[in-house]
């Protein structure tokens, strides 16, 4: 049975008003990235990091999914398990669009996690309280559920499964800085890249003289929402063949 592996990144949610790390004028003028997104920063100042994620979670309440989130939701509704829906985003816009199954590679803003027993639970858009306790084991050591720099990302195991099981790879709005989408694409005869801006492929060995899109079978040089209808058509055609 043919399957499709969709990997999305910040570009998917950018049009819904969720800023990326690299956007200037966003949160990063108020906060230092390594202060709020690294294990070291967390160890140094848990209150600051908790406040940061409380603010992000509260902002999420007003955000709406765009055409690209809806396209993925429709594909999932139509093809079910044949769509691997992996995202690097920590927002809940795919869920808001109606996706039943989303694998969040870097965690989720709405959830908290117990450091004692590992239990994860949804608190919606409210702030984590100072006296927050784990509903499963009552421990008081509770944290946000975002993967920080310097700690493992257990959901990455699904990338391997998605690669093994799929015949088409689609990368939407991901710069490839964290997950090497060129390496992933090279495993596929069929691949689609959605990104409005052409980017050079950079590896740990330095910059290659080729653009990332050159490693993909098809390049849609569009923003995610603009490409949504075409993506939906292409995936539907591919899985109906």
Q: Under the rule (CB under 5 A), what is the footprint of Zn ion? A: 114, 116-117, 119, 134, 136-137, 139
Identify whether the C-beta of residue 69 lies closer than 8 Å to the C-beta of residue 230: no
30: CB partners within 8 A, 6+ apart: none
Tokens in use for 116?
Answer: 């004692």
DSSP string for 79-105:
HGGGEEEEES--SSHHHHTT-S--EET
Between 115 and 214, CB nearer to Zn ion? 115
Residues with catalytic annotation?
106
Measure the CA–CA gap between 121 and 43, rounded to whole angstroms.
Answer: 22
Q: How far is the CB of 108 from Zn ion (least distance, A)?
A: 17
Q: How far is the CB of 71 from Zn ion (least distance, A)?
A: 37
Q: How far is the CB of 83 from Zn ion (least distance, A)?
A: 32
Give the closest residue to 47 by CA, choosing from 138, 135, 108, 129.
Answer: 129
Q: How far is the CB of 141 from Zn ion (least distance, A)?
A: 8
Between 135 and 150, CB nearer to Zn ion? 135
């Amino acid at each position: 049975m043919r399957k499709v592996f969709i990997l999305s990144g910040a570009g998917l949610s950018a049009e819904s008003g969720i800023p990326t790390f690299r956007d200037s004028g966003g949160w990063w003028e108020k906060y230092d990235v390594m202060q709020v997104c690294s294990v070291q920063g967390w160890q140094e100042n848990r209150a600051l990091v908790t406040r940061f994620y409380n603010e992000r979670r509260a902002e999420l309440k007003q955000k709406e999914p765009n055409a690209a989130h809806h396209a993925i939701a429709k594909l999932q509704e139509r093809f079910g398990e044949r769509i691997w829906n992996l995202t690097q985003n920590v927002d809940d816009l795919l869920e808001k669009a109606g996706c039943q199954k989303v694998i969040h590679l870097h965690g989720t803003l709405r959830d908290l996690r117990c450091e004692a027993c590992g239990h994860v639970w949804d608190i919606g858009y409210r702030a984590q309280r100072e006296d927050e306790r784990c509903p499963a084991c009552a421990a008081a050591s509770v944290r946000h559920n975002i993967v920080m720099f310097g700690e493992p990302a257990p959901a990455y195991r699904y990338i391997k499964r998605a690669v093994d099981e799929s015949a088409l790879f689609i990368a939407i709005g991901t710069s490839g800085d964290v997950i090497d989408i060129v390496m992933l694409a090279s495993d596929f005869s069929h691949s689609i890249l959605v990104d409005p801006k052409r980017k050079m492929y950079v590896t740990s060995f330095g910059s290659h003289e080729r653009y990332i899109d050159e490693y993909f079978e098809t390049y849609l040089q569009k923003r995610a929402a603009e490409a949504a209808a075409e993506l939906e058509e292409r995936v539907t055609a591919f899985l109906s063949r």
